[in-house]
């Protein structure tokens, strides 16, 4: 029973953490635009942002007020890392299976 409560608490905390820094939440200004690390974070939480955007149109997948290249680089590194990480893991799994 305690493990179920712990898992639920961790999931709720993770959801709160993910939702706390979504693009378009008003934290970024023209004076302090989103940079590389914000772009990287926004790339990681892009699937969450897409779902939240259905209920709150102010939230976006991509921050409009950003530093340009550095934000884009962080965003795309996170997006491509999410897609590429699964492919690398699958390749390793296939290789181990072939050796057996």
Calpha distance 10→66 (Å, rounded): 31
d(Cα 24, Cα 94) in Å, to the nearest integer?
41
Cβ atoms of residues 39 and 63 within 8 Å: yes
Q: Which residues contact 45 (CB under 8 A, 6 or more apart)?
A: 18, 21, 22
Closest C-alpha to 66, from 32, 22, 95, 33: 33
Token pair for residue 73? 């680089």
The domain total for the chain is: 1
pLDDT of residue 51: 87
What pLDDT score was predicted for residue 59? Answer: 85
The yes-or-no verdict on residue 71 having pLDDT over 90 is yes
Residue ranges making up the domain that contains 23: 2-99
Inform me whether the pLDDT recorded for 78 exceeds 70: yes
Hey, how many other C-beta atoms are within 10 angstroms of the C-beta on 92? 10
**Which pTM does this prediction carry?**
0.66
């Amino acid at each position: 029973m305690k493990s179920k409560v712990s898992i639920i608490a961790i999931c709720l905390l993770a959801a709160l953490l993910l939702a706390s820094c979504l693009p378009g939440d008003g934290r970024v200004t023209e004076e302090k635009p989103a940079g590389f690390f914000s772009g990287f974070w926004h790339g990681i939480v892009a699937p969450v942002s897409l779902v939240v955007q259905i209920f709150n149109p102010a939230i976006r997948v991509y921050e409009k007020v950003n530093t340009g290249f550095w934000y884009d680089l962080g965003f795309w590194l996170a997006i491509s890392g999410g897609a590429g990480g699964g492919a690398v893991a699958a390749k390793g799994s296939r290789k181990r299976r072939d050796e057996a």
